[in-house]
Structure 1
Amino acid sequence: MFSFLQKFIAHLLVLVLAFFHPGSAHVGAAQAIQAPPHVQEQPMRLALVIGNANYANMPVATAANDAGLVAQTLQTAGFDVTAGADLDLDALRRAFRDFLDKAQQAGPGSVLFVYLAGRALQYSGDNFFLPIDARIDRDVDVPLSALRLSDYRQALAALPVMARIFVVDGARAVDPIIRGKLASGLALVEPAPGALEAFNAAPGTIAPDEPGPYGAYARALVEMMQQGLPVNEVFARARLRVNELTRGAVVPWDISRIDTPFYFFVRQQSAPPLQSLSSYESRPLRTFAPADAYEIVVERDSIEGYEDYLAAFPTDPLTPRVRALLAARREALSWRRAYVANTPDAYWSYMRRYPRGPHYWDARRRLMMLRAALEPPRHFDSYDFGGLPPPPEDEYGVVDRPVMRFDDAGFAPLPFLPAFLLPVQPEEFRRMPPPPRAERGRVPIPAPLSAPHAMPAKPMGAIAQPNFGHQGIGGPAQGAAPGGPRRGHHDSNSVVPVAPMAPNPAHPNGRQGPAGAAPAATAPMIEHGAARTGRGNPPSAGVGPAAKTPDVKTPAVKTPEVKHPGLAKPTPPQAAEPGHPAAIQPTKPVVGKPLPVQSEPVKPLTARPSSPVPHEAGAPKPVLPRAAPSKPIPQRPVIPLAPPKPAATKAPPPKMVPAARIAPPKPIPPRPAPTRPAPPRPVPARPAPPRIVAPPKATPIKPPPPKPVPAKPGIVGKPAAGKPVGKAEKKLPEAK
């Protein structure tokens, strides 16, 4: 009933609108009926490709070329690629930060791809990618000088995208200085839902350095991408191709939790069919030849597959190689499960199981973090490693090696066998020419490769190689305009254009600069220790039309007083009388400009004949005083005028600080001072009056005679006339 009323009211409203606005009713009804559904965002394909090749101690010849090859293939597959080469630690962090910012804006159906080529290692259960400026002298320097990959893997796992692919092409040898306490290769990791993790070598093993121009892993990965296969099968077949190209020296590894089908390229219907790998899953290995069975277990890459091969072919020449693969995988998985448990019992159990294992020192580091005993105690709860059985005795000879690799004398080289699960490698991938030379900090992009059996799943993307601070000191390329892209923020696909460097006649000394650019207003500098402008000193008169210096008034002096640079501010030249030379300013002259002339050629402090300032040809030479060395002495009496002011009023001394500094070494000021106090010298005839009055102190002896009292003035007057006092004292008794 309620729905019937709603429909009735809706139709009534349509009729009313049709009566008053006939056209709007049809439009409104059509919009109500044909309302578009929710449109999802267009899925994006984003990639970050980095190739670090120029390490100081151990460069990688193929890293930058491999990164360029992968970047070009991803661009053809519809990825927007951000690439960079030879990044230091700060540049690596900025590159990942910018990539995460872009990935956060991607839609739920987007795909993220990260490819790192260079050198990587494991430390205490985590994998680290080495920047080119990594300086690792001890094992504890690894987390300080390298990039921890787990931090960015977790950040990518938090993004709501369809698939995340993280490839590390860096399991190679490291410096022997730190090799003793570090496990070789990379540590086994567990992917998050919707993620795929891939290494160029199996966990715990390393790949040998290759001469180039491209590495086997990058070539195999690009080849399988262009076959139009699902992403999981791309990496499985790439493992087979690398194992074939290196004759068993390298076995890549990958683990995937991507359930949604994803294709880099779409395989054409006219392409020849590929051998299905799933068709051999149910067949027992005994039904295959040893070489074919070896290829099948390498494709499976599991502990169960390797154990089945050892049980089926115990005496085959390939058995030692399979046993080594099994031993490396069992040890890597045991350490991973102990690391995930992160308890003292788990680490002690690993140390009991592998007393000389590659992760023995990592277990001790983890125990130190947990503040537990560094050696297994007698009694503790043993950890079962998730049901993983302990290794047999013959596996300890493999895992106890300092470095696990499959190209040494311990293993026979893999014979060249015809491809069983793979077609023959195309000729263009066998002999690939080197890429064109790239600029500093940029990966070389080769020519696009043809994909005869597949076509791109999306339109071609773009490759951007921004400057993350690694393309030279100072950020953007030289010659960029001041208002151009900032350091690490331009997204152009090419280098910032640089203006041609042409001689600039307006620039002092003919320095070169970008053509058409205005000369920079550089601060001139006087040679021989003169002061610089811009730091407490006024600019010179030659820099700009409004460059003036403040006036400093000096008492009783018409001409400006010249002080030593840095002690007093210079004064501008005053108008010179007819026929009198102009005053030389104590400011800094502009290089290439004639010096102004001073009104009194008496100041030897700023203009010295021994240190002339360079001037242009044809310009009037500065007038230098000839009698400068002889007139410093008559000029000094002008300075004593400053001391009288501090004597009368103590306020001026702070203003004339420079004059006060110059005054002490000059002996002239003390001379006039004694002339004024000269009159008081006769007054302090201190010995005459006071000492003459002093003898009457003996008068207390005279009280007995009453008459001598009037006679005292006469006696006193006689000594005043010049008679000795002693004689007067002797005459007194004679008068009695």
Structure 2
Amino acid sequence: MALVIGNSAYQHVAELKNPYNDANAMAEKLEALGFEVVSGVDLDLRAMRRTFRQFVGKLDQADLALFFYAGHGLQVHGENYLVPVDAELGSHLDLDFETFPANLILNAMEDATDINLVFLDACRNNPFTRNLARSMGTRSAAVGRGLAKIGSGVGSLISFATQPGNVALDGDGENSPFTSALVKHLGTPGQDITRDLVLVRRDVLTATKGEQVPWENSSLTGEVILREKSPEPETPKINPQIELTYWDTIKNGQTADYFETYLKRYPDGQFADLAKLRIQEIKTAGERNRINRQRQDTAAEIAYWQSIQTTQRPEMLESYLTRYPGGIYTDLARLKLDALKQTISEDKKKGQPETSIALNTPSGTAAPAAETGTEQQLASLTPDPTSADSLAPAVAAVDETQPALTEKELARAMQSELNRLGCSVGGVDGVWGKRSRNALKIYAKETKIELASLDPSPAILDGLKQSTGRICPLTCSRNQELKNGKCVAIKRETPPGSGTNTQKATQSAGNCPSNPTAYGNKIIGRVPTLGRPTLSHPCGRKLTCWGSKSSWNLTCKWI
């Protein structure tokens, strides 16, 4: 049960700013703590007595009583008095008729309940004390500053806004420093009232810069907790078998989300340490892959630029600028493009043919004047190899998310693509030799593109992959001829004079050589073959031959 009174609108002295607000704030706070509150503001003496009687009448069924007062209060002869708003106190004789004794409230509370809490924010600088002092003459020393110390019975706590005999401050805000701190800390869940008041004292000292020190008298015999702490929810018991199954499901995951989810569900689980390590590994690997992709992007751009840097075709430079608008060579590409367009424009004005396209002109060899016309020679923009030591090997620009190919893997991939397009390189072995270079040269000639180099590069591999169908013309082997788009065996005429008798004579087993390999290579030809073809020898016996894809000679034996 709680009684809250706040007097601001005094009729015969200056009004106080905060008691009205202090009373309303405390009433709201106490109701939130579960108190039944009897409250009144700006009460005259009759209203104060009526409100107090109403409060005392409800204490019979209460286990704790609380009284809060904000307004003018004074002490005379060591006794404390609360001042209603209609008090004049023109003489010390008016004290018993116009004020309300504080002890009257405390005694009634101690008679009715075992636990009593009193909060007095009434130690303000009081104009009534000056009137009393004048009227008492030589006895004016009996009128003290602030409130006097109040004795309390067992089970009571009396808290003053400042130490006895001192004056409390009204504050600059809507509430006094003392009431503001009470509203903030009173009823902290699970915390004893004495601990609440320690926090109140700290806040008031800070707010008043040490000028006001809240004070209390206590005869409590146990903890008084105004709000019980909410019980923590019980942590569900963890089934080890369920956790083990959960871990087995995610332990091979490749994203950190799996293991972060596990840690949220089992923060102290059996595999918590392993989950944290896996998260760290995945994040480290992700950062490493990001750096590698960045290097690959740069390497792909360099390879792309190397494949077009000597071009005399504006569209190829424009393709670079479209693909890499903020690239390493963007400024150089724009300069070269502007110069190339200017040259073409000047050639048109002079009525000369446009700048020709140089195909694989060796470095240091000038193209004939008749072929190049007024072709403008531009400086090579090949980057200094030493400036890219830290770059990863070049990769195909079209698929920059794939890991970089080694030199041999790149060569093997280009050999495979050239064979697919009909530009035979022989065996796909990753060795980039003369035959591979020649096949690439034929491809470039047939597709009418220019290459800065016949060495393997991701950009060239990209172009090969985008090509479809047969590009290079079909070349038949020895003893074959091209007919209707296919290589067929050349038909040989039977020599004159040979006939049935001669054939029969040669079919004798005695005329067959001991090793038919030479005959097989002669008939089939020095080309790779698949399977084991069967042939008939002029001597009448049958033979079979075989060889590997990378072999130029066959091995034959008699059947």
Normalised by the length of structure 1, the TM-score is 0.29
Q: Decide which structure has greater helix share.
A: 2
Normalised by the length of structure 2, the TM-score is 0.38
